[in-house]
Structure 1
């Protein structure tokens, strides 16, 4: 069970393991109580449905350590997307094997982290990966490398550290670990 959002509108620091079904019935989708008037439960549910497609593809290639957060894990009425990372084998990633296996499964062939594959989004100035354009979910591979995000002191972080702090103010926050459905 998830705790309620803290005074900063985030999950309290910690890892919270949820299955996809538990995620669908959590406060991240149904909203806190009392529910804010503009809470977009339908949008949040569609994001989880899209996340499920990608998570099942990762499971199919043997990836089980999957974590999600971003504005989806905050008290934002209408989050833009779901962000996350997954732990993977460095050799499978660097050789391109992981990307090829995932794209063999995905009908839209969206699995890439190549910056050249980013396309602008009409609603912003930010270029997004193909997976974001199709699913509104961005999942990044992690094998122990730095991720390009820095803490408030300018130190480079790995995904596990970076995803457990607010990018706005560096406060610690909670993250969701996707548990496998039995």
Structure 2
């Protein structure tokens, strides 16, 4: 197990902080391999978690190819959930590239499924899930959202204020407890 990512805290969360790791390191971390105490996690689904990282790798490579450097990974994937539904995250991009549509067009030129969109009208239901999912989720089981200063996430704090992704993704959605986040590092062999 790679020590760049620490064990889960007593709340079952990645401890507070930003953890810079490559995809290679992520595959060998506690997030994929599971906690040391296997008796406490008899149903830990390492194969599923590694598969999710492989799907994330496809999308990260596309983002890196169009010049996006900062990609952050979060959601239940950074919690002690045996079988997270997916990987959530965000990436930092240029506002003008996003608003103009150039970023989405460039990403969809790279992706054979053309999944790069955040258009709510394109969300589709998935059996057993209460909310409709984006096309990228249906193909990769990963949802990565664009972020630039001033763009809200749709996630609200305890006072009802909308948070931007950097703040929203550094807290547990169910109870607001602070948690860590993964920043993917571009590396050869990823």
Q: TM-score, normalised by structure 1?
A: 0.98
- The unaligned stretches of length 5 or more in structure 1 are none
Report the Cα offset of residue 129 of structure 1. 0.2
Match of 1:15 in 2: 18
Find the aligned partners of 1:104 and 1:113 in 2 and give their Cα distance: 16
1:158 is aligned to 2:164: yes
Match of 1:56 in 2: 61
Find the aligned partners of 1:2 and 1:23 in 2 and give their Cα distance: 8
Which SS does the other structure have where 2:68 is aligned? coil
Which SS does the other structure have where 1:120 is aligned? coil
Find the aligned partners of 2:164 and 2:183 in 1 and give their Cα distance: 16
Match of 1:85 in 2: 90
Match of 2:142 in 1: 137
> 1:2-151, aligned counterparts within 5 Å?
2-35=5-38, 36-144=41-149, 145-151=151-157
**Alignment RMSD:** 0.7
CA-to-aligned-CA distance 1:114-138 (integer Å, 9 cap, x gap) = 0011001112121000000000000
Report the Cα offset of residue 34 of structure 1. 1.8
Which segments of structure 1 move beyond 4 Å, counting only runs of 4 or more?
A: none
Report the Cα offset of residue 26 of structure 1. 0.1
Which SS does the other structure have where 1:85 is aligned? strand
How many matched pairs?
A: 182
Q: TM-score, normalised by structure 2?
A: 0.94
Deviates more, 1:105-114 or 1:151-160: 151-160
Find the aligned partners of 2:130 and 2:156 in 1 and give their Cα distance: 22
Which SS does the other structure have where 1:140 is aligned? strand
Find the aligned partners of 1:52 and 1:131 in 2 and give their Cα distance: 13
CA-to-aligned-CA distance 1:158-180 (integer Å, 9 cap, x gap) = 00000000111111100000011
- The unaligned stretches of length 5 or more in structure 2 are none
